[in-house]
Every structure is written in C-alpha cells, then in structure tokens.
Amino acid sequence: MSDPLARVWLVTLIHARGLVKRFEGFTAVDGIDVDVQPGEAFGFLGPNGAGKSSTMRMIGCVSPPTGGELRILGMDPVREGPKIRARLGVCPQLDNLDLELTVRENLTTYARFFGIPRKVARARADELLDFVQLTERADSKVEPLSGGMKRRLTIARALVNEPEIVLLDEPTTGLDPQARHLVWERLFRLKQQGVTLVLTTHYMDEAEQLCDRLVVMDAGKIVAEGSPRALIDRYSTREVVELRFAAESQEPFASKLDGIGERVEVLPDRILLYVEHGDEAVAEVQGRALSPAGVLVRRSSLEDVFLTLTGRTLVD
C-alpha cells in the first residue's frame, strides 16, 4: 500500500482527529478525536444536542465533515462513501421501516440494495428474524408491531449485509424497560459475535450496560473518555447519598451538610452527597439533627460523572 498510515487505519476502524461539523455558523461537533478498535462496543454519551447524531451521520457517510480528519475502515467517507456503507450497518434514531412491506420483506428488499441474491437474502432474513425474535411476525405488516419489535426489526435490517461495524443512534430511546432489556440482550450477543458496535445514548445505564469504552460529549466537545468503570473511578466517589428534604428549595439544607463527604451537589429536587461510605455519611446527617423525607444510598454512576464534569444532569 502506498499510504504508510493505511495499516494503522485498517486496525483502527474509525479514526477521527479534530473532527468538525458546522451548520450555517453553528458548530454541532467541535473538533473531536475518536478511535474505535475492532470488536469494541464504543459509545457517545451526552444529553440532547451534544452533537452525537451529527457525529454518527458523518461516520455513516451521509453528512460530510466540515473540518478535521475522518477515516472509516481505512477509507475517506467523502470519496469512498458507497464502499464504506457496504460494510456498515445503520440503525437510525427514528425507525424508517417500509410500512407497505411485511416484516420479512423489509429485510429482503433491503438486501437487494446490497446486491445480495434473492435466495441468500431470504435465508439471511429468516436467520435474522430468528435472531431478533420476530419469526412469528415474519408475514405481518410493520405498523401493528410494538415499538420494541420495530426497533429489533431495524437492528435486523442493519445486519442484512453482515456489517463489520453497526452504528446505533439512541437504540432504546422511547422503549419501555422490558423492550429495552431485550434490545440490550441482542446487542450484547452481537458484541459476543465480534461485531463492532458504535452507539449514541443519553442513558447512563445503557452506556454502562453496553459500552466497553465511551466518550462523554457536551456542546460538541468530548469532555472525558474511558471505560464506564474508569470514568466513575476517576470523576466520582464510590457511593452517593441522595437526600430529599420536604421543602420548596433544597438549597438551605446544603450548607448544613458541609464537610460530609467529598462534594455536595444541589439539584432542584434533591441533594447529592459524594462519599466513600454511604451509611457512615447518613449517620453523620442524622447526627446533625437533619431529617430528610427521603434517603437513598447508591453506587456512583455515569450520571454522576456527567454532573461532575458539566454541572448538569444527562436527562432533564
């Protein structure tokens, strides 16, 4: 190969340096660096408007970068978009299934775009329907399916071309807890099969469940990067005590908690105490004759990481 860096890019499936996306003067993605390795489940975690979808659309070769460098599977998404797309699976934020077609036809028709022969497409569709547990609905139309079923069908469709990388934009937004768990379980299986997953989410539990490594995004920038565990260890304490006081404002109680734990965070409806040992902290609170209406001791999560880094919660 003539390009000396091509070998590095072939190992690194997605390589971005100083990647920028601007819309008429507004910078949605503001110079981010990302490397995704084969077999990883990699996440972009951030609130609405952080720039996650804009980044995904650049990786999916449907939106050209405004600046910086981007290589997907060692190729340039602007010049080699079709070649890259043939090796990607894309599950967009909103299901865009064909309502005119049956569940199975949604897969077989999509397979034709990739030039997959009819017989192979049919066999693959049946395999994928089995994988996403929709075999019984194969001949039904799409419209009566539940939200979770539609999402699973969209995931199956993204797998029709046996992609090396699957891009999932907010894979479980809008689903109920049971449907979310089923999607997570299927994605976990894909990961076990060695498929590289790249997903966006504003759910910290989704990021913790699925991602080996993630970047935390806020206002177009990456504010932290690492495994969920490493991020929590670095930016938060072992435990968090949540206190709810029966009052219009939590603020007056915060000063009475001075010195307990490493940090106090006041939210509109509760106070968070960042501590190593929750039970000891609760005893200290009680020792100060404070009687909160609600007390919860829990482990730190990525939500706490986000709060520490930005002063805001992930989901308002």
Q: Does 201 bind ligand ATP (CB under 6 A)?
A: no
* Residue from 13, 14, 19, 50 in contact with ligand ATP (CB under 6 A): 50
Q: Which of 44, 41, 39, 74 has the alpha carbon at shortest distance from 57?
A: 44
Comparing CB distances to ligand ATP, the nearer of 49 and 67 is 49
Q: Does 196 bind ligand ATP (CB under 6 A)?
A: no
124 DSSP 8-state letter: H
* Residue from 8, 17, 18, 48 in contact with ligand ATP (CB under 6 A): 48
Distance CA 282, CA 303 (A): 21
Q: What share of the chain is helix, strand, coil (3-state, %, to 5)?
A: 35, 25, 35
Q: Which of 257, 308, 306, 309 has the alpha carbon at shortest distance from 286?
A: 257
Comparing CB distances to ligand ATP, the nearer of 28 and 307 is 28
Q: Give, as ranges, the residues between 57 and 86 that touch ligand ATP (CB under 6 A).
A: none
Which of the ranges 41-49, 158-166, 221-229, 262-270 carries the binding residues for ligand ATP, by CB under 6 A?
A: 41-49
User: Which secondary structure element, helix H or strand E, spans residue 286, and what is its range?
Assistant: helix 278-287
Q: Minimum Å distance from CB 172 to ligand ATP?
A: 13
Comparing CB distances to ligand ATP, the nearer of 221 and 277 is 221
Distance CA 45, CA 227 (A): 12
Which of the ranges 22-30, 120-128, 140-148, 279-287 carries the binding residues for ligand ATP, by CB under 6 A?
A: 22-30
Comparing CB distances to ligand ATP, the nearer of 30 and 242 is 30
Q: Does 53 bind ligand ATP (CB under 6 A)?
A: yes
3-state secondary structure of 306: helix
User: Which secondary structure element, helix H or strand E, spans residue 10, and what is its range?
Assistant: helix 6-11
Q: Does 52 bind ligand ATP (CB under 6 A)?
A: yes
User: Which secondary structure element, helix H or strand E, spans residue 38, and what is its range?
Assistant: none
Enumerate binding residues for ligand ATP (CB under 6 A).
23, 26, 28, 46, 48-54, 202
